[in-house]
Amino acid sequence: MDIELAPEDLEFHEEVRAFFQENAYKPGEDYAQWRLDWFRKAREKGGWDVPKWPVEFGGPGWTPAQHYIWEQETARATLPWDMPFGAGMVAPIIMAYGNQEQQERFLPDIRARTVNWCQGYSEPGAGSDLASLKTKAVLSEDGKHYVVSGQKIWTTAAHIADWMFCLTRTDDTGRKQEGITFLLIPMKQDGIEVKPIITLGGAHSVNTVYLSDVNVPVENRVGEEGKGWTYAKGLLQHERTGLAGLSRSLVALEGLKENARSVQRGNGTLMDEPAFRAKVAELEIDLMAAEYTELRSLASAQAGAAPGPESSILKLKGTEIQQRIQKLTMEAGGIFSAAWGARPVGPKFAKGGMAGYLASRAYTIYGGASEVQKDVIAKNVLGIKRSAR
Amino acid sequence: MNFELTDEQRLIAESVQRFVQDNYDLETRRKLADRDPGFSREHWATMAELGWLALPFDEADGGFGGNQIDVMVVMEQFGRGLVLEPYLASIVLGGGALKRGASAALREEILPGVIDGSRQLTLAYAEPQARFDLHHVTTAARADGDRFVINGHKSMVPNAATADHIVVAARTSGGQIDTGGITLFLLDAGAEGIRRNNFPTVDGRRASEVDFENVEVPAERVVGEVDEGFSILNAVANDAILALSAEAVGVMEMLYKSTVQYTQERVQFDHPLSDFQVLQHRMVDMFMEYEQCKSLLYRATMEAARGDDETAQRTIHALKHLVGKSGIFIGENAVQLHGGMGMTEELAIGHYFKRILVIDSEFGNADFHLEKFAA
């Protein structure tokens, strides 16, 4: 048991830092071009554009220590804009359950970041209880395409997406987890309508997507008809481990402390106020523990073991920590946090303080609400079986 | 970077586990705790035989040359078994002070007996007015030729009744709360002028109030340098916090796991209690706090073992805070979910809870360390 980084890890650390420095965005550059170039160069480094992909699909095959170093550095660097839905979410499903033709067709564009994806899961009647979904997919008589009708909701980035990976119902006679089919649907076509939903923080990132008799070729079905739930469950696991965002929280916490020290309070600063300081300290301690929970989880993954019980708590702890940082940032901003929109009042960091806090309330809702996570942990980790009584 | 125990450490863990299984059922433990000395001398001899008492001492002193990680492995298992033997007092506290500060002659005289189990040690550090401040020392040592004369009072000294030697922190110069001017002395427990008032603590262990009245001690029994004892005291306290936290993590594991098991067996309203979501979620919270404590324990222990003192100090404050807060959270909920049975002496749950409460009170509680961490 030790935490020394091996000499080759220290070298790797330097290499990562140098890469970020050399390829940082320079003011005046064409952003879209810079973004695509960045991912191309990362790819040339040996799979740095897709750190979590398996080696056989071009991933770098890093050790846990290397993943950890990468995460730490990415939290500090300004990386090109990237949504998790493509390389992070649909790609692992296509790799695991798609056929070779689908892999050759979709993975290169996902990797190059030239197409945008969105996730068609939740529906008005299917939130945490996702398997209750009703969006219908009916196979045409000639067996060549599905006709999809229904409504998806909370669909992040649907308004800029080229594709949606979508859970549809092809059979409603059995258990609700059965009869779900995983389809890849082009967004730019007749029958698809995207309407924005503005959330509490005032931002537009989620949408309602209406599907009316949308034609989806049968080649766009991943895996077998009716097996989509099994595939999606695997993906949810992916999504959950990716949501902890601890390195980012570490950087955000540093910022919070710095900001709080800039806020005057009597002869001192906000950080001299015992109640506030104690909240920041408790937050930092939880974060320090969670960092090692993540390292333990990475280490057991490296050893090829099934993710240990510690992995299951990362999404819960990680999102809760993110929320607490937003909350303390709002508190630090005091009255100025209440200014709506881009009004230049108060300290710079306080801008949008309340809006940011409000937006953060979603962290413990999306990707499986915290309460659903707890149900899953109770069952799968604590081994509590619901009795038949 | 890795989180695997070495083969040796795994063997030690297994051997402590086996020892606990064979010797520490609740009833036997209760009998040991109920009568003096509050532990088993036979067990102590077994621990010496198995080499556990040698773990943190240098090979030159007849030890195993281990570090805080080795002690963690033992203490975590001790926590799971609620082991009563004074490992902390004799090996981590008294032994830790000697290992760090004692002259070669003194180490040669004392440590072999500590390692073979024939002598026990303790450390007298707490005083009534000090609360948790290690440097708040009024017990005074006056130089008198080639000896010192000690007068004062120490509180809650663990294992003082059976210790053969007491390492005591006394003020040789400076003001009452200065870190400078504190000196550590090795005293024979039976020396003239030492009066011990022994009593049990809530967790079934033993402690003493100890008076020192004109206790004479030769200058060669100073541990470390005169006036420079605080750095040793602080280092020993850090090791003690790591050891206690490892023990606490073992205790927490038993608390949450016993609760999970009990709620699956106990039927009310025609259902096992574990069918109720409100209880399931509570148990998940308990489990999560346990895992977080374990993570921070690993972090602090590895940093300390690596000798990165400044980083480790901050993490140790964080650890003692979290262990106190989460340990009590887990303990309270374990009792709550056991219902009336959780309030009885009959189940192990209450005994684990008592131990976690005492651990929080030792070497600074959760609030104390939060304040230190935030400073």
For B128-141, what is each residue's pLDDT tens digit?
A: 999 999 999 999 99
A142 lies in some domain:
yes
Give the separation between CA B158 and CA B163, rounded to whole angstroms.
Answer: 9
**A31, burial (CB in 10 Å: exposed 0-12, middle 13-18, buried 19+):** exposed
Closest partner CB to B284 (pick from A282, A382, A386) = A382
pLDDT category of residue B61 using cuts at 50, 70 and 90 = very high
- Let me know whether A184 and A220 are in one domain: yes
CATH topology of domain B231-374: Butyryl-CoA Dehydrogenase, subunit A; domain 3 (1.20.140)
Q: Which CA distances in Å does B299 have to A3, A88, A279, B3?
A: 8, 29, 21, 10
Closest partner CB to A285 (pick from B4, B294, B321) = B321
Number of domains, chain A: 3
- Let me know whether A281 and A344 are in one domain: yes
| A379: closest CA of chain B, how far (Å) | 9
| Residue whose token pair is 């990415």 | A74
The confidence score (pLDDT) of residue A236 equals 65
A233 lies in some domain:
no
CATH number at residue A166: 2.40.110.10
Closest partner CB to B302 (pick from A2, A6, A290) = A2
| A388: closest CA of chain B, how far (Å) | 9
A389 lies in some domain:
no
The confidence score (pLDDT) of residue A298 equals 78
Inspect the interface and report whether the beta carbons of B292 and A313 lie closer than 8 Å: yes
Judged against a pLDDT cut of 80, whether residue B314 lies above it is answered with yes
DSSP SS3 for B231:
helix
A387 lies in some domain:
no
DSSP tag of A223 = S
- Let me know whether A21 and A67 are in one domain: yes
Closest partner CB to A281 (pick from B281, B291, B370) = B370
What is the rounded average pLDDT of the residues B331-344?
A: 96
The confidence score (pLDDT) of residue A242 equals 58
Q: Residue type for B279, please?
A: L
- Let me know whether A100 and A52 are in one domain: no
Buried b (16+ CB within 10 A) or exposed e, A336-353: bbebeeeeeebeebbbbb
- Let me know whether A11 and A131 are in one domain: no
The confidence score (pLDDT) of residue A384 equals 94
Q: Which tokens go with A293?
A: 């929970």
Q: What is the mean pLDDT of chain B?
A: 97
Give the separation between CA B275 and CA A266, rounded to whole angstroms.
Answer: 53
What are the two backbone dihedrals, phi and then psi, of residue B123, each rounded to the nearest 5 degrees? -125, 125
User: Boundaries of CATH 1.20.140.10 in chain B?
Assistant: 231-374
- Let me know whether A176 and A291 are in one domain: no
**B289, burial (CB in 10 Å: exposed 0-12, middle 13-18, buried 19+):** buried
Closest partner CB to A289 (pick from B277, B284, B322) = B322
Within 8 A of A289 by CB-CB distance, chain B residues are 292-293, 295-296, 299, 318, 322
Within 8 A of A377 by CB-CB distance, chain B residues are 284, 287-288
The confidence score (pLDDT) of residue A241 equals 56
Last residue within a domain, chosen from A170, A199, A226: A226
The confidence score (pLDDT) of residue A388 equals 60
Q: CATH number of B122-228: 3.20.20.10, 2.130.10.10, 3.10.129.10, 2.40.110.10?
A: 2.40.110.10
User: For residue range B176-201, what is the model confidence (pLDDT) as tens digits?
Assistant: 999 999 999 999 999 999 999 999 99
Yes or no: say if B352 and B331 are a contact pair by the CB < 8 Å rule.
yes
- Let me know whether A179 and A267 are in one domain: no
Give the separation between CA A151 and CA A326, rounded to whole angstroms.
Answer: 32
A20 lies in some domain:
yes
Say if the ipTM goes beyond 0.85: yes
A63 lies in some domain:
yes
A237 lies in some domain:
no
| A383: closest CA of chain B, how far (Å) | 9
Give the separation between CA A58 and CA B310, rounded to whole angstroms.
Answer: 41
What are the two backbone dihedrals, phi and then psi, of residue B193, each rounded to the nearest 5 degrees? 95, -5
Bridge partners for B271 per DSSP: B268
- Let me know whether A96 and A64 are in one domain: no
- Contacts across the A-B interface (CB distance below 8 Å): 132
User: For residue range B356-372, what is the model confidence (pLDDT) as tens digits?
Assistant: 999 999 999 999 999 99
Domain that holds residue A203: 89-104+115-226
Closest-CA residue to A184 (of A89, A59, A84, A54): A89
- Let me know whether A51 and A163 are in one domain: no
Give the separation between CA B26 and CA B32, rounded to whole angstroms.
Answer: 10
Within 8 A of B303 by CB-CB distance, chain A residues are 3
- Let me know whether A264 and A347 are in one domain: yes
Inspect the interface and report whether the beta carbons of A384 and B277 lie closer than 8 Å: no
pLDDT category of residue B347 using cuts at 50, 70 and 90 = very high
Q: Which of 3-32 (B) contact A at CB < 8 A?
A: 3-6, 9
A385 lies in some domain:
no
Tally of residues, chain A: 389
Give the separation between CA A260 and CA A257, rounded to whole angstroms.
Answer: 5
- Let me know whether A257 and A322 are in one domain: yes
Closest-CA residue to A174 (of A221, A223, A227, A124): A227
What are the two backbone dihedrals, phi and then psi, of residue A113, each rounded to the nearest 5 degrees? 65, 35
Judged against a pLDDT cut of 70, whether residue B212 lies above it is answered with yes
* Structure-model confidence comparison of residues B39 and A294, the more confident one: B39
Closest-CA residue to B252 (of B201, B316, B328): B328
* Superfamily holding B7-119: Acyl-CoA dehydrogenase/oxidase, N-terminal domain (1.10.540.10)
- Let me know whether A192 and A78 are in one domain: no
Interchain contact B296–A (C-beta under 8 A): yes
Inspect the interface and report whether the beta carbons of A378 and B370 lie closer than 8 Å: no
Inspect the interface and report whether the beta carbons of A2 and B2 lie closer than 8 Å: yes
Q: Which tokens go with A277?
A: 């300081």
Inspect the interface and report whether the beta carbons of A285 and B296 lie closer than 8 Å: yes
Bridge partners for B210 per DSSP: B154, B196
What residue ranges of chain A have pLDDT lower than 50?
389
